[in-house]
Amino acid sequence: MAQRLHLVFGGELVSPSRTEFRDTDKIHIVGIFANYESAFAAWKAEAQRTVDSAHTRYFIAHLHRLRDEEREVSPTEELGV
């Protein structure tokens, strides 16, 4: 079975109604997790820690959805470029 990696990250947004970060250099990378359950626990902990900041949001990115290992790679990717 393939790993289903998840990235948890967040930071201060320009506006609570948008998902644009105020300063991308200050994005907080919580970590990469091997399953959704552990990613959700990390996301929840950070969301609760920053609950008083309306402009701060955390997200879970499903890294396993970005790449299909069964799909043929491009010639550029094959070269490691």
HEC secondary structure over 47-58: HHHCCCCCCEEE
Assess if residue 1 is contained within a domain. no
Assess if residue 50 is contained within a domain. yes
Domain tally for the chain?
A: 1
| pLDDT tens, position by position, 41-57 | 999 999 999 999 999 99
Assess if residue 30 is contained within a domain. yes
Assess if residue 74 is contained within a domain. yes
Question: What residues make up the domain containing 55?
Answer: 6-78
Cβ within 8 Å of residue 22, ≥6 positions away: 11, 12, 13, 14, 55
> Residue 1's pLDDT band (boundaries 50, 70, 90)?
low
What local confidence, expressed as pLDDT, does residue 3 receive?
77
Assess if residue 25 is contained within a domain. yes
CATH number at residue 52: 3.30.70.2400
> Residue 68's pLDDT band (boundaries 50, 70, 90)?
low
Assess if residue 70 is contained within a domain. yes
Cβ within 8 Å of residue 41, ≥6 positions away: none
Q: Is the pLDDT of residue 81 over 50?
A: no
| Amino acid at the residue 47 | A
Assess if residue 47 is contained within a domain. yes
Torsion angle of the four alpha carbons 37, 39, 40, 45, in this order, in degrees rounded to the nearest 10 = 130
Global pTM reads 0.77
